[in-house]
C-alpha cells in the first residue's frame, strides 16, 4: 500500500496492484493524513476494493484530465477538451468511465450530425475524446481503450486556399497602417498559427541567431523558425519591448486583417489561410514536405501531405526510382 502523486499533481493511494483511489488533493500534508486514515481502515477490512475501471465516473475523470490538460497542453487544447468532454457527458450522463462504449460515441456523433455540425468539426470531437481516453488507459482507470479502432468520419478534402505572390502584394497595398502591415507579414513569412503569434514575445525573437522560437504550441512542442530577410528588416525597424510582439486579443487581430482581406478582394480568406500560404509557396519553391512539416510544427506527416499536389517534382523523382 503506497501514497503517490500523478503528473496532474493529485495524490492517490494504491491499495494493491491495479487498485487505486484518488485523494482529490494536491496538498501533500493533507494527502498524508488521508492516506494514514485509509490505511488503518483498509487493514481493519473496512474498505472494499472495486475492480479497476468501475470506481470512477466520467465527471471525476474529466475533472482530473482537465487539470492535467491545463498544465501540459496549450490553452486552445484545454478549452477544446473542456467543451467537448462536457458535451459528451451531457449526452451520455455521468456514467462509469469503463461503461463507455463505441455505441455511445455513435449516438453522440449522430446527434451532432443532426444538429448540422460539420464532419470536420465532429472529427475534432472524436479525436479529443479518444485522446482523453488514452490518458485514462495510461492512468489505469481502464485496461483497454474503450474506443480503440473507432474511425473518424470521411471528409471530402478540398485543396488548401492560399495567396500567390501577386495576391500578397494586393493585400499589402491596401494596408495603410505600418503595424498591421508588419503583423500580416509576420503571418506570411513564418507560417505561425494565430494562437502562436498572439503569444509571441520579443524574448522569443533572437536576431543574433536569426530565429524565432515558438513555445507551447498547439502540439505542446517548441520549434524554431529561421527569420526571412524581409521579415528581419521589419523586426530590426522596431524597438523590442518586454511584452508581446502583437499586443492585441485574437479577435482583434482577426478583425483587423480580415478587413484588409476584404479591401483587397479576398472576402472569404481566413487567417489560417496565411499559414497555408506560407506552406504552399515553400512547396512550390521546391522545399521538401518533411522540411515544411518541421517548419509548420505538424506532428503528423499526413497533415503536411495536403500540399503535396503543389510539388510535381517529387512525382518525377519517384518515377526515376522505379527499379526496372
Residues of the chain with pLDDT > 70, as a percent, come to 85
pLDDT over 70 at 72, yes or no: yes
pLDDT tens digit string along 33-64? 888 887 877 766 666 554 444 478 999 999 99
Give the span between the Cα atoms of 298 and 316, in whole angstroms.
25
The whole-number pLDDT of residue 269 equals 93
pLDDT over 60 at 183, yes or no: yes
pLDDT tens digit string along 115-151? 999 999 999 999 999 999 999 988 888 888 999 999 9
Contacting residues for 168 by C-beta, under 8 A, at least 6 apart? 188, 277
Could you tell me the residue ranges of all domains in the chain?
2-43, 58-138, 165-317
Identify the DSSP state of 324: -
**Residue in the block written with cell 477538451:** 81
**Could you give the 3-state DSSP secondary structure of residue 305?**
helix
Highest mean pLDDT, choosing among 14-18, 55-59, 269-273, 285-289: 269-273
pLDDT over 70 at 295, yes or no: yes
Residues designated catalytic = 193, 218, 272, 275, 298, 307
Identify the DSSP state of 268: T
pLDDT tens digit string along 220-247? 578 899 999 999 998 988 866 678 999 9
Vertex 220: Cα angle to 91 and 240 (nearest 5): 125
Contacting residues for 271 by C-beta, under 8 A, at least 6 apart? 187, 194, 253, 254, 257, 258
Can you list the positions of beta strands (E) in 75-158? none
Which fold does the domain 58-138 belong to in CATH?
DNA polymerase; domain 1 (1.10.150)
Mean pLDDT of the chain: 85
pLDDT over 70 at 314, yes or no: no
C-alpha dihedral sign at 94, 96, 97, 101: negative
**Residue in the block written with cell 488503518:** 40
Least Cα distance to 194 among 119, 270, 129, 93 occurs for 270
Least Cα distance to 6 among 17, 19, 22, 18 occurs for 22
The whole-number pLDDT of residue 318 equals 58
C-alpha dihedral sign at 111, 116, 117, 118: positive
Domain 165-317, CATH class in plain words:
mainly alpha
Strand partners, 96: 57
Task: List the grid coordinates of 70.
Answer: 491545463
Task: List the grid coordinates of 260.
Answer: 484588409
The whole-number pLDDT of residue 132 equals 96
Give the span between the Cα atoms of 60 and 54, in whole angstroms.
12
Give the span between the Cα atoms of 193 and 217, in whole angstroms.
9
Mean local confidence (pLDDT), 268-276: 92
Question: Rounded to the nearest 5°, which phi and psi values hold at 4?
Answer: -150, 160
**Could you give the 3-state DSSP secondary structure of residue 35?**
helix
Strand partners, 151: none
Strand partners, 22: 12
pTM for the model stands at 0.64
User: pLDDT higher for 263 or 27?
Assistant: 263
Mean local confidence (pLDDT), 180-208: 93
Amino acid at each position: 500500500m503506497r501514497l503517490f502523486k500523478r503528473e496532474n499533481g493529485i495524490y492517490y493511494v494504491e491499495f494493491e496492484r491495479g487498485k487505486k483511489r484518488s485523494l482529490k488533493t494536491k496538498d501533500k500534508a493533507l494527502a498524508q493524513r488521508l492516506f494514514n486514515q485509509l490505511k488503518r481502515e483498509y487493514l481493519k477490512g473496512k474498505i472494499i476494493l472495486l475492480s479497476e475501471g468501475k470506481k470512477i465516473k466520467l465527471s471525476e475523470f474529466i475533472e482530473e484530465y482537465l487539470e492535467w490538460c491545463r498544465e501540459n497542453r496549450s490553452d486552445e487544447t484545454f478549452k477544446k477538451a473542456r467543451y467537448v468532454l462536457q458535451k459528451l457527458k451531457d449526452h451520455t450522463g455521468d456514467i462509469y468511465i469503463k461503461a463507455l462504449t463505441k455505441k455511445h460515441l455513435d449516438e453522440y456523433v449522430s446527434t451532432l450530425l443532426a444538429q448540422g455540425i460539420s464532419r470536420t468539426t465532429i472529427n475534432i470531437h472524436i479525436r479529443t475524446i479518444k485522446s482523453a481516453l488514452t490518458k485514462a488507459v495510461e492512468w489505469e482507470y481502464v485496461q483497454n481503450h474503450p474506443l480503440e479502432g473507432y474511425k473518424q468520419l470521411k471528409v471530402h478534402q478540398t485543396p488548401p486556399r492560399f495567396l500567390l505572390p501577386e495576391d500578397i502584394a494586393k493585400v499589402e497595398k491596401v494596408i495603410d497602417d505600418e503595424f498591421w502591415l508588419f503583423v500580416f507579414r509576420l503571418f506570411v513569412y513564418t507560417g505561425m498559427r494565430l494562437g502562436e503569434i498572439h503569444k509571441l514575445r520579443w524574448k522569443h525573437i533572437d536576431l543574433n541567431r536569426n530565429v524565432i522560437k515558438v513555445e507551447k504550441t498547439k502540439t505542446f512542442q517548441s520549434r524554431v523558425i529561421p527569420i526571412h530577410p524581409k521579415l528581419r528588416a521589419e523586426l530590426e525597424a522596431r524597438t523590442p519591448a518586454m511584452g508581446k510582439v502583437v499586443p492585441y486579443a485574437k479577435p482583434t487581430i482577426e478583425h483587423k486583417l480580415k478587413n484588409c482581406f476584404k479591401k483587397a478582394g479576398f472576402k472569404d480568406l481566413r487567417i489560417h489561410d496565411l499559414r497555408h500560404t506560407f506552406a504552399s509557396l515553400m512547396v512550390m519553391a521546391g522545399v521538401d514536405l518533411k522540411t515544411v512539416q518541421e517548419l509548420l510544427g505538424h506532428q503528423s506527416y499526413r497533415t503536411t501531405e495536403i500540399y503535396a499536389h503543389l510539388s510535381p517534382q517529387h512525382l518525377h523523382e519517384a518515377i526515376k526510382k522505379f527499379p526496372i
